[in-house]
Amino acid sequence: MMHFCKAISRPVSGAIAALALLLAPSAFAAGEADAGQAGPGSGASRTEYVLAVSWQPGFCETRPERKECTTQTAERFDATNFALHGLWPLRKSYCGVAAEVRAKDRSGNWLELPKLAMADETASRLLVAMPGVQSGLDRHQWLMSGTCQASSVDDYFAVQLRLLEELNRSAVGALFRQGIGTELDETAIKQAFDQSFGAGAGDRVRMRCQTVQGRSVITGLTIGLTGDVLKASSLGPLIQAAGTTAFKCARGIADGAGRG
């Protein structure tokens, strides 16, 4: 059922300040937007959406107690591929969602939220591509972001699954798979984005890292997008239309599954 509402927006200065708080690793885990991609980029370009993907082995180094991390193995999809975290429209959230439901969602106990109604095929694909489903991440993402983008849960996640598949098939996915256990740097990652999605694509990407036992591990990427994400057939034009952002983490380890 479509959640209709006026876009919930905040003054730009307040939005940037609030989003800046979400740069903490715990906030990325909660699925919130990235401040660096909320503002205007070069020229007239402006980022409208953020596609967030996790490098799950690194993320699990920082959140080993989460259900999706206690069950991760080297054979699982998310041990060698980017995992889906979310697709966020900037400056809009919780469209048509009742205040009490928003409060429950923000508490972080996402498995207490109602289970999402979606097609069996979507659910089975999402369980593989988004390990956070085990912690209710899909319910959180729909309430916070999906209600402002799509008329159905299936439509909202179908586009993300398509974009994630394209990313994992790209030179970026190959770089990370081949680099498991080694350090990757900004130059190599940006070159892979440019190779797959056009010159300058890497300037629309931000990398997240966290220090774990003295090691800087990559926990994920946020990719700026602009355009009709629900109808787009490929990532390249969406990335090219977005504003530029600072890469932030210059280098980090593409960790393998397992602790340490």
- pLDDT tens digits for the chain (260 residues)? 333 333 333 333 333 333 332 333 333 433 344 434 544 344 457 999 999 999 999 999 999 999 999 999 999 999 999 999 999 999 999 999 999 999 999 999 999 999 999 999 999 999 999 999 999 999 999 999 999 999 999 999 999 999 999 999 999 999 999 999 999 999 999 999 999 999 999 999 999 999 999 999 999 999 999 999 999 889 999 999 999 999 999 999 999 997 65
pLDDT at 26: 36
pLDDT at 233: 85
Rounded CA separation 232/142 (Å): 20
Tokens standing for residue 137? 């991440």
126, 87 in Cβ contact below 8 A?
A: no
Contacts of 69 (CB under 8 A, 6+ apart): 56, 59, 60, 63, 131
pLDDT at 23: 32
CA distances from 23 to 29, 88, 89, 257 (A): 10, 14, 16, 24
**With helix as H, strand as E and coil as C, how does the chain read?**
CCCCCCCCCCCHHHHHHHHHHHHCHHHHHHCCCCHHHCCECCCCCECCEEEEEECHHHHHHHCCCCHHHHCCCCCCHHHCCCEEEEEEECCCCCCCCCHHHHHHHHCCCHHHCCCCCCCHHHHHHHHHHCHHHHHCHHHHHHHHCHHHCCCCHHHHHHHHHHHHHHHHHCHHHHHHHHCCCCEEEHHHHHHHHHHHHCCCHHHHEEEEEEEECCEEEEEEEEEEECCCCCCCCCHHHHHHCCCCCCCECCEEECCCCCCC
Q: Dihedrals φ, ψ of 226, to 5°?
A: -145, 135
pLDDT at 69: 94
pLDDT at 260: 56
Query: pTM of the prediction?
Result: 0.84
Topology given in CATH for the domain delimited by 35-253: Ribonuclease Rh; Chain A (3.90.730)
